[in-house]
Structure 1
Amino acid sequence: MKTMQGPGIFLAQFAGDAAPFNSLDGIAAWAAGLGFKALQIPSWDARLFDLALAAESQSYCDDLRGRLAAHGLQISELSSHLQGQLLAVHPAYDRPLDGFAAAAVRGNPAARQAWAAEQLRLAAKASARLGLKAHATFSGALAWPFLYPWPPRPPGLIDEAFAELARRWTPILNAFDEAGVDVCYELHPGEDLFDGVSFERFLDAVGQHPRACILYDPSHFLLQQLDYLAFIDLYHPRIRAFHVKDAEFRPNGRQGVYGGYADWADRAGRFRSLGDGQIDFGAIFSKLTRHGYPGWAVLEWECCLKHPEDGAREGAAFIQKQIIRVAEKSFDDFANAASDRSEVRSMLGLQA
């Protein structure tokens, strides 16, 4: 067992064009003032981070770490969610996802995919220069439009989708392996990796690659009605990143898991600020601590009701309260009696 690190905060939902959210130093001072100890940095946001420079310049990375240390902060992980999404895009999503890419490759799926792959390789190098051990991303999706088996899927469709996903990811996983960094896929609806079964299928396709790991986010599992506590018991060896995000699921006579195309505020399942939803975080932190989770507890704020700055302020204190400082000795050590093997055998009624 080990004491979890935290609280951290994912900056993607907070970065903006107004101060203090439009520069790394500004947002770092804001986050530190709320009690956060680490930042998960979106690698695509040039207002906060230069991915290409970080991949090539150790001095840039050292300066970045020093600037954050001046605020009492570390980097928990870099994130490449948008670039990972673009590594595999079904044509149905070409137009809505095109805006995630650099302007020069928009409208050109092949060029966009190549750009995404290069971005991920840069993220591996940058993570290594920053001394990070885990990286947060999405898998992308080729099979997602065929999630529900109606109309019936032709034989081999899903197998080929995962085979192609593996072909695209294997060289990137190898690049992260060379960098000594785990690739932590956020299992998320809209991605081909969205639950345990799909993650296992991917692991098989990439030959059980040691760097193929999980970003654990229980909110996505609650909205799927998946047992998010049993998930930890099953997959804890691969859990290397953790988004602390709350959610609620309140089905009724009109809608359930699929939500009837409703907007977020009107869905049966929706994300909430920490403590406002239904997630049992006490049990989650206990299980992750018991299994020796080695990383950070990072707030990802998404809520259709509460103001983000209130969610961040409350979230820092919420996570800090959940972190379990691991005991250095057993609570009943005071009652232990010294003994040797002969005494133990005597207590069992056996000859010495």
Structure 2
Amino acid sequence: MARPVTLFTGQWADLPLEEMCKKAQDFGYDGLELACWGDHFEVDKALSDDTYCNRKRELLEKYDLQLFAISNHLVGQAVLDNIDARHKAILPEYVWGDGDPAGVNERAIEEMKNTARAAQKLGVSVVNGFTGSSIWHLLYDFPPTPREMYDAGYQLLADRWNPILDVFQECGIKFALEVHPTEIAFDIYSAEMSLKALDNREEFGFNFDPSHLIWQGVDPVEFIRYFPDRIYHAHMKDASVTLNGRTGILTSHLPFGDQRRGWDFRSVGRGGVRFEEIIRALNDIGYGGPLSIEWEDMGMNRDQGAREACQFTKNVDFAPSDIAFDGAFGD
């Protein structure tokens, strides 16, 4: 049976949700992955208005769209981050408050707990998101970084996220970290260290996204095979590496979409991700959840890209074989 193909609404939050539903239905999607910003899904309203979640469900059903997950990347980023002026633009006003860094961290922690409660009310089992990182700025080891500074970053993960995950556990919800640069887990080994810091608790797993791995030189298929029981959700997202002797993998402080960058995101099927191998790996680990397209391509019209990405994903997906091909040769 084919996996449902959904569209993550994070890059479409400038549109009202109903308009987004109309587009997704027209593009051929089976469902949406609702972002917790714009009017797509608002955590505070979900908890304060007993009709809110039902109205969201009814709107999706009106357009024959399914719902498997919500995503609160932006607030999750503020849990571990060293807060600065950049965060004001991505956070709800009631989380940003007066901008005092410690206060922002604390309010982000409470909002992520409430996100689990809101997900339970909405009837989804997965919340995708970010954790932030207090040690991302230490990525390049100069001046030389004492190991204790890295260890402190993973201890902070445990200190701040375990209370959040306790609420996820109470609500029966999984948190799926999108492994991503600027997060506490950005590749295979940092993801492994994050799991260890959290005592491998079941509530914490991963939202697999190959686009953030390939430009680092990490094989996305190896990530799936390394964490076969921790892939709680899967994004379909593409990227292209274009090193030409002038460009660099660290992108020279150039914005997304600048042709001088050494890598950039691409519409699904138009970059370097080997999606057929990803489908085979997902089949091998028994992943039956949605394939959720996170559409980002600064060089392409998003309506055209999202429609094309939906069809590409449906074409590339396939169920595993239930027979051995050489079984017919036996007696």
The answer to whether the superposition gives a TM-score over 0.5 is yes
Q: Is the 8 A contact 2:82 2:101 kept in 1?
A: no
Amino acid at match of 1:96: R
Give the superposition deviation at 1:50: 2.7
Mapped pair 1:324 → 2:318: yes
Q: Is the 8 A contact 2:71 2:129 kept in 1?
A: yes
Residue 288 of structure 1 aligns with which residue? 282
Sort the Cα spacing of 1:305 and 1:207 in 2 relative to 1 into closer, same or farther, 3 A.
Answer: same
Give the superposition deviation at 1:180: 1.1
**Which structure has the larger Rg?**
1
Give the superposition deviation at 1:153: 0.7
Residue 347 of structure 1 aligns with which residue? none
Mapping of 1:1-352 within 5 angstroms? 3=1, 5-16=3-14, 21-22=15-16, 24-45=17-38, 47-55=39-47, 59-91=51-83, 94-104=84-94, 105-264=97-256, 265=258, 266-331=260-325, 337=331
Give per-residue Cα distances to partners, 1:53-106, cap 9 Å, x unaligned.
Answer: 323555432332122112110112111100000111225xx1111222233514
Q: Is the 8 A contact 1:273 1:302 kept in 2?
A: yes
Give the superposition deviation at 1:5: 2.5
In the aligned structure 1, how far is the partner of 2:147 from the partner of 2:280? 42
Give the superposition deviation at 1:220: 0.7
Give the superposition deviation at 1:279: 0.7
In the aligned structure 2, how far is the partner of 1:231 from the partner of 1:333? 31
Deviating more after overlay: 268-277 vs 50-59: 50-59
Sort the Cα spacing of 1:223 and 1:268 in 2 relative to 1 into closer, same or farther, 3 A.
Answer: same
Secondary structure, counterpart of 2:87 in structure 1: helix
Give the superposition deviation at 1:287: 1.0
Q: Is the 8 A contact 2:10 2:37 kept in 1?
A: no
- Which runs of no fewer than 5 residues in structure 1 stay unpaired? 338-352
Q: Is the 8 A contact 1:40 1:77 kept in 2?
A: yes
Q: Is the 8 A contact 1:40 1:79 kept in 2?
A: yes
Secondary structure, counterpart of 2:156 in structure 1: helix
Amino acid at match of 1:30: K
Give the superposition deviation at 1:204: 1.4
Deviating more after overlay: 25-34 vs 262-271: 262-271
Secondary structure, counterpart of 1:237 in structure 2: coil
In the aligned structure 1, how far is the partner of 2:30 from the partner of 2:139? 39
Give the superposition deviation at 1:328: 5.0
Q: Aligned residue pairs: how many?
A: 327
Amino acid at match of 2:289: G
Secondary structure, counterpart of 2:24 in structure 1: helix
Q: Is the 8 A contact 1:11 1:39 kept in 2?
A: yes
Secondary structure, counterpart of 2:229 in structure 1: helix
Secondary structure, counterpart of 1:252 in structure 2: coil
Amino acid at match of 1:203: L
Q: TM-score, normalised by structure 1?
A: 0.88
Sort the Cα spacing of 1:285 and 1:59 in 2 relative to 1 into closer, same or farther, 3 A.
Answer: same
Amino acid at match of 1:230: E
In the aligned structure 2, how far is the partner of 1:58 from the partner of 1:107? 30
Secondary structure, counterpart of 1:224 in structure 2: coil
Sort the Cα spacing of 1:101 and 1:132 in 2 relative to 1 into closer, same or farther, 3 A.
Answer: same
Counting aligned pairs with the same residue, the percent is 31
Sort the Cα spacing of 1:258 and 1:50 in 2 relative to 1 into closer, same or farther, 3 A.
Answer: closer
Give per-residue Cα distances to partners, 1:10-34, cap 9 Å, x unaligned.
Answer: 1111121xxxx22x22211111111
In the aligned structure 2, how far is the partner of 1:219 from the partner of 1:52? 31
In the aligned structure 2, how far is the partner of 1:44 from the partner of 1:119? 13
Q: Is the 8 A contact 2:177 2:204 kept in 1?
A: yes
- Which runs of no fewer than 5 residues in structure 2 stay unpaired? none
Deviating more after overlay: 5-14 vs 319-328: 319-328
Q: Is the 8 A contact 1:12 1:41 kept in 2?
A: yes
Secondary structure, counterpart of 2:166 in structure 1: helix
Deviating more after overlay: 64-73 vs 54-63: 54-63
In the aligned structure 2, how far is the partner of 1:33 from the partner of 1:247? 25
